[in-house]
Homo-oligomer: A and B are copies of this chain.
Amino acid sequence: MNSINKKLNSMGLIIPDLVPPIAAYIPAKKVGNLVFTAGQLPMVNGELISKGLLGQDVEIDEAHKAARICTLNALAAIKGVIGDLDRIKQIVRVVGYVASVPTFTQQPAVVNGASELLLEIFGENGKHARSAVGMAVLPLNSSVEIELTVEVE
């Protein structure tokens, strides 16, 4: 078993099946040694598990978990392109889109669901630049959407 899979195993995590895109695009694209993922929603077995706006419909805790699931889906998307997550050299960039009413200002606490998972899995190589922003609304009324850029071997 390779080392990232061992790590995921020890964390009780499984990379989910690739989430099929909901429109005319692909889950991730490689160019040179970079892989860019599509924006990932918190889909589990084809169902969106967190819907609505932060500050109105959704609590931080729920959205934090949703961001974690988005990130597992993003890793599934990357695995679909490079075959083996051990080929990830480092996480480069995360964009965290958080559906928010205009009075909710804790987007970073939500997107930490993504960032903390990446640090846990990849350690030092998991450290990344990040933008967290508050959106009017997201596709399918998702509470959060996460996009990754990673460097691969």
Residues of chain A having any CB pair with chain B under 8 Å: 21-29, 31-34, 36-39, 53, 77, 90, 92-95, 97, 99-109, 111-112, 115-116, 119, 127-141, 145, 147, 149, 151
Contact of A145 among B53, B111, B115, B133 (CB under 8 A): B133
A33 & B32 in contact (Cβ 8 Å cutoff)? yes
Contacts A26-B129, A31-B92 given; indicate if A103 touches B137 (C-beta within 8 A).
yes
B23 near A112: Cβ-Cβ < 8 Å: yes
Contact of A130 with B25 at beta-carbon distance under 8 Å, contacts A105-B140, A105-B141 already known: yes
What residue of chain B has the Cβ atom nearest to residue A26's Cβ?
A: B127
Please report the C-alpha to C-alpha distance between residue A109 and residue B138 in the assembled complex, in whole angstroms. Answer: 12
Interface of A is mostly: mixed
Bound-state Cα–Cα, A128 to B37, Å: 9
Most buried by B among A28, A137, A141: A137
Cα separation A28 to B23 with both chains bound (whole Å): 26
Residue among B25, B111, B131 making CB contact with A129, cutoff 8 Å: B25
**In whole angstroms, how far apart are the Cα atoms of A26 and B92 in the complex?**
10
Q: Which of B32, B94, B129, B151 contacts A37 (CB 8 A)?
A: B129
Which residues from B are CB-within-8-Å of A102?
A: 53, 99, 101, 136-137
Partner of A92, one of B29, B77, B130: B29
**How far, in whole Å, are A132 and B94 apart by their CA atoms in the complex?**
15
